[in-house]
């Protein structure tokens, strides 16, 4: 059975990564909503901990995982390290005496509890008292009801997590209401669309990306170009000498780096490092997501026998507007990208756009749309899992 696992970041009030929620889909069903919750969570745990390894998926962060009433009663959470998971209690779990006793036992053993999609009712008070985090869905709950819940819950020691936060305005609203954790893709959107000239320092980075990707592959010329930027030179050499490559002899010059990576690899990697500098004042998860998309799509491009480098650039620049708070059309006018990439990123159409949607639907856990795209391209579930896990590891290593 193919078990797809995606991760969705959870941030603190400073937009720093706090944890990941693991999102699940089983290959035996058309989508997660139609599955029995016990099968869903059991498959997720088996895949995450025993097959793939939780460290590869969560990057060392705590993982929020849904548990059904039956799994709680069986003691399933205790099979896993208390410092690796957040026991997320589904909204369908009723606070019976047995459930409350199980939750007390979990807390006594060092596990932390979170209540998912919380809507206040008096019967939940025993679970509120035991929970570290209360999650409130900003899409399902009216703001006036959220405000009442926040006021009521202030007398408890639990902290509030705002789910489905999709814009910076929503982030600021939730922050002002007293929420301390935030989940959603607000970080991947422009904070304030400025539509003005890019700062000179950022423009220089964009120019470097353009130069690297348009220059004739002349080692001496490229070496001179990269040596002009000490930060990029340092990051390139540091990465190539990291444990990811397990090299016996260190690489000590840009010329050696070019020879090791080859033309295509060198252009892509310098583009990646330079792009990361464009987002130096943004949440780290923004550039991490871009890198994951780039690597994931590169694999997809190779699988469908299309240009892998074009797919890499598609993923890498897919969040450029959020990095620079400017329109995608204006930013891409500064880069030597193909018409196919421009169509996908600016107009969200064309031959490459379905592949962008493939990675977007996967990372958000939109399994119905993902499955449609997967079937259209004829990519096996096993390959998708392999590509995604590799992309996570590659991004975290960088």
Residue whose tokens read 């690297």? 212
- pLDDT top residue among 236 and 317: 317
Please report the pLDDT score of residue 40 as a whole number. Answer: 58
Cα-trace Rg, the chain: 23
DSSP code of residue 268:
H
Residue whose tokens read 């923004």? 286
Q: Hey, CA dihedral for 40, 52, 397, 332, is it positive or negative?
A: negative
Q: Among 130, 132, 150, which residue's Cα sits nearest to residue 141?
A: 150
Please report the pLDDT score of residue 36 as a whole number. Answer: 56
- pLDDT top residue among 286 and 224: 286
Please report the pLDDT score of residue 308 as a whole number. Answer: 67
Q: Is the pLDDT of residue 28 over 60?
A: no
> Which pair of structure tokens corresponds to residue 175?
């922050």
CA–CA separation, 114 vs 251, rounded Å? 47
Every domain of the chain and the residues it spans:
3-188, 200-397
Question: CATH fold of 3-188, please?
Answer: TIM Barrel (3.20.20)
* Measured CA angle at 367 (ends 363, 372), to 5 deg: 110
Please report the pLDDT score of residue 30 as a whole number. Answer: 29
Residue whose tokens read 């409130």? 136
Q: Among 113, 114, 39, 111, which residue's Cα sits nearest to residue 80?
A: 111
Q: Hey, CA dihedral for 60, 176, 290, 24, is it positive or negative?
A: positive
pTM of the model: 0.86
319-332: per-residue pLDDT in tens? 999 999 999 999 99
Q: How do beta strands 3-12 and 62-67 pair?
A: unpaired
> Which pair of structure tokens corresponds to residue 297?
């799509």
Helix (H, G, I), strand (E, B) or coil at 112: strand
- pLDDT top residue among 79 and 20: 20
357-366: per-residue pLDDT in tens? 999 999 998 8
CA–CA separation, 87 vs 133, rounded Å? 10
Q: Which helix (H) or strand (E) holds 67?
A: strand 62-67
Please report the pLDDT score of residue 32 as a whole number. Answer: 28
Please report the pLDDT score of residue 71 as a whole number. Answer: 83
227-273: per-residue pLDDT in tens? 878 888 888 888 888 777 767 788 888 888 888 888 888 888 888 88
Facing residues of 176 across strands?
none
Architecture of domain 200-397 in this structure: Orthogonal Bundle (1.10)
CA–CA separation, 391 vs 316, rounded Å? 12
């Amino acid at each position: 059975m193919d078990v797809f696992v995606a991760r969705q970041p959870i941030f603190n009030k400073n937009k720093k990564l706090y944890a990941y929620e693991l999102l699940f889909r089983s290959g035996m069903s058309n989508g997660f909503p139609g599955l029995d919750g016990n099968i869903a969570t059991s498959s997720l745990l088996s895949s995450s901990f025993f097959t793939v390894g939780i460290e590869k998926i969560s990057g060392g962060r705590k993982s929020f995982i849904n548990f059904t009433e039956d799994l709680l009663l069986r003691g399933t959470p205790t099979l896993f390290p208390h410092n690796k998971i957040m026991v997320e209690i589904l909204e369908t779990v009723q606070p019976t005496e047995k459930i409350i006793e199980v939750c007390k036992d979990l807390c006594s053993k060092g596990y932390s509890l979170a209540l998912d999609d919380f809507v206040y009712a008096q019967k939940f008070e025993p679970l509120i008292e035991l929970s570290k985090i209360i999650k409130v869905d900003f899409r399902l709950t009216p703001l006036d009801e959220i405000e009442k819940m926040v006021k009521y819950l202030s007398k408890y020691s639990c902290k509030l997590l705002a789910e489905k936060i999709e814009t910076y305005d929503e982030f600021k609203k939730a922050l002002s209401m007293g929420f301390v954790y935030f989940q959603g893709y607000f970080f991947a959107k422009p904070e304030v669309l400025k539509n003005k000239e890019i700062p000179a320092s950022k423009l220089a980075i964009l120019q470097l990306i353009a130069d690297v990707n348009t220059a004739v592959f002349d080692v001496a010329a490229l070496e001179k170009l990269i040596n002009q930027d000490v930060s990029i030179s340092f990051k390139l050499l540091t990465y190539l000498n990291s444990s990811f490559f397990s090299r016996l002899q260190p690489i000590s010059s840009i010329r050696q780096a070019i020879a090791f990576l080859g033309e295509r690899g060198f252009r892509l990697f310098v583009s990646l490092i330079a792009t990361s500098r464009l987002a130096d004042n943004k949440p780290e998860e923004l550039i991490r997501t871009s890198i994951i998309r780039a690597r994931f799509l590169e694999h997809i491009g190779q699988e469908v026998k299309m240009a892998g480098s074009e797919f890499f650039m598609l993923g890498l620049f897919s969040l450029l507007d959020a990095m620079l708070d400017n329109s995608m059309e204006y930013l891409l006018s500064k880069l030597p990208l193909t018409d196919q990439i421009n169509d996908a990123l600016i107009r969200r159409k064309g031959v490459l756009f379905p592949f962008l949607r493939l990675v977007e639907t996967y990372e958000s856990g939109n399994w119905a749309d993902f499955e449609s795209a997967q079937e259209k391209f004829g990519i096996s579930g096993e390959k998708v899992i392999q590509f995604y896990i590799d992309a996570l590891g590659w991004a975290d290593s960088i």
